[in-house]
Amino acid sequence: MDCNSKSESSNVGDVSFGEEVMIKVEPMDETGDIKNNTGTLFNVTEASPCLTSAGKAEKCSSIRGEKRFACDFCDYRSVRHCDLKEHITTHTGEKPLACSVCDYRTAHLSNLKRHMIRHTGEKPLTCDVCDYRTGFVSALKLHMRTHTGEKPYACKLCDFRSSGPGDLSRHLKTHTGLRPHICDICGFRTALIRNMKRHMRTHT
């Protein structure tokens, strides 16, 4: 089957892909792969041009190892035409996959599946040390650093280190001298919104 055809549909487990389909959001394991067939169905307005399944190579017109499909906008080349179509969306800004619950749109099926977890509230990933649960692999990795003490993000201006990029980003504001958050009552200024929230309690 041609992976570009919208008149046909492809199946991965219980999920059908065509012009208008139902996508089943499945619980995922530690690798982010689908864990079982007990997920929740959501409408998707258009199918992804490429499927993330073990058999997708058989469904795409390709020659193994030969990157014969070239992007007209940059030097990107791919083995499969469906991969090229997905890449082209980075240039066109096209986001054919839409969430039926909110206005979120994306070009990638994997992104939509991760997004849907926000609506289902599923938290299949668990910490081995405490009772922390989450639906996202990245969140679990960040949480585990609270147990290991790992701080891979380092400031280039001082010896500050953090476990996540968010903390490093907030720290870097202390070097810029910028204090964009201003108190409407007394004029207090700060670089961090959490400091502003703490300050506002002094007025209540």
Question: pLDDT band at residue 64, thresholds of 50, 70 and 90?
Answer: low
Question: pLDDT band at residue 126, thresholds of 50, 70 and 90?
Answer: very high
Q: Is the pLDDT of residue 45 over 60?
A: no
- Residue 88: what pLDDT? 87
Provide the percentage of residues in the chain whose pLDDT is more than 70: 68
Assign a CATH topology to domain 153-203: Double Stranded RNA Binding Domain (3.30.160)
- Residue 59: what pLDDT? 47
* DSSP code string of 6-51: SSS-EEETTEEESSSEEEEE--B-TTS-B--S--EEEEESS--SS-
- The CATH class, in words, for 10-121 is alpha beta
Q: Is the pLDDT of residue 26 over 60?
A: no
**Tell me: the pLDDT tens digits for 153-165?**
999 999 999 999 9
Question: pLDDT band at residue 118, thresholds of 50, 70 and 90?
Answer: confident
| 3-class secondary structure per residue, 146-196 | HHHCCCCEECCCCCCEECCHHHHHHHHHHHHCCCCEECCCCCCEECCHHHH
| Domain 10-121 shares a fold with domain 153-203 | yes
Q: What is the pTM of this model?
A: 0.47
Alpha carbon 13 to chain centroid, angstroms: 22
- The domain segmentation of the chain, as residue ranges, is 10-121, 153-203
Average pLDDT over residues 58-82: 75
Average pLDDT over residues 114-133: 91
Q: Is the pLDDT of residue 177 over 80?
A: yes
Average pLDDT over residues 177-197: 91
Tell me the pLDDT of the chain averaged across its residues: 75
Question: pLDDT band at residue 84, thresholds of 50, 70 and 90?
Answer: confident
- Residue 162: what pLDDT? 94
Contact status, residue 86 vs residue 50, Cβ threshold 8 Å:
yes
Q: Is the pLDDT of residue 99 over 50?
A: yes
- Residue 157: what pLDDT? 92
